[in-house]
Each structure stands twice: as C-alpha cells, then as structure tokens.
Amino acid sequence: MTFSQAISSFYRNYANFNGRAGRAAYWWVALYTFIVTVVCYILIMACGGDIANGQLGFWGWFWYAVLWVFGLINIVPGLALGWRRMHDIGKGGGWIFITFVPLIGSIWFLVLTLTPGQPGPNRFGEPNNVR
C-alpha cells in the first residue's frame, strides 16, 4: 500500500471497525498525522507563537485551531484504523485501550502495531479486505 492509498483508505473507512488493516496502512497514516502536526507547529512558531505562555497572534491562533480541528476530525478514523490493525494480528479491537495502562500500555500497543499480520484469513476476514 502506498502513502496516498493509505490516506485515501483512512478517510474512506472513516468509521469502519470491521475487517483488517495491514502495517503499511497503519504506519503511513501515522506518518501523515506526524507531518501535519509538525507543519502546524512550525507555522505557529513562524507566526511568533509561544504556545507555553499562550502568546499567540491571530495567525498563531489560526494554525493552532487548524491543528485542533485536524485532531478532532481524525479521532474516529484513528480509532477505527487501530481497531482494524488489531484485527490484522488476530486480536480483538479492544486491545487499543491497552494504551490507558500507564507507561507499559503504550509500549505494548507499539509492539502490537509492529507485529506482522496473520498471512491468511482469520476470524476478522481476509488480509487487507478493507474497501
């Protein structure tokens, strides 16, 4: 799966918690989210923004709002993608909530997302059968 295919699939399957998502689909979206976040923070700082002290001009607040809207828009598809990623390794989608366990939960979830998917069909369907 390419970068553009992963982003397209991410938004096409906005609230699809069924099926499977491979490592490429998951990590391309993680890269996309990281890039957008970094670009927004760079634009905030370039506009003379000081987020820690709340010293933002109009454009600083604008880019800060863009970042928040981006985050809000991506909550549901992010959960759905993580859910489908857990399905790909044969685990129930509820495993994404392991991240609520302090420290070790995030590390465990990272290891799970790095785990190769099951090669054949599992109880959640065929590999990468997401529309």
Return mean pLDDT, the chain. Answer: 91
Q: State the sign of the Cα–Cα–Cα–Cα dihedral 123, 125, 130, 131.
A: negative
| 58/27: higher pLDDT | 27
With CA atoms as reference, report the closest residue to 120 among 84, 88, 79: 88
Structural domains in the chain (count): 1
Judge whether 97 lies within some domain.
yes
| 46/128: higher pLDDT | 46
Q: Does the pLDDT at position 114 exceed 80? A: yes
Judge whether 22 lies within some domain.
yes
Judge whether 125 lies within some domain.
no
The pLDDT assigned to 91 comes to 94
Judge whether 127 lies within some domain.
no
Domain that includes residue 93, residue range: 3-114
pTM of the model: 0.88
Judge whether 107 lies within some domain.
yes
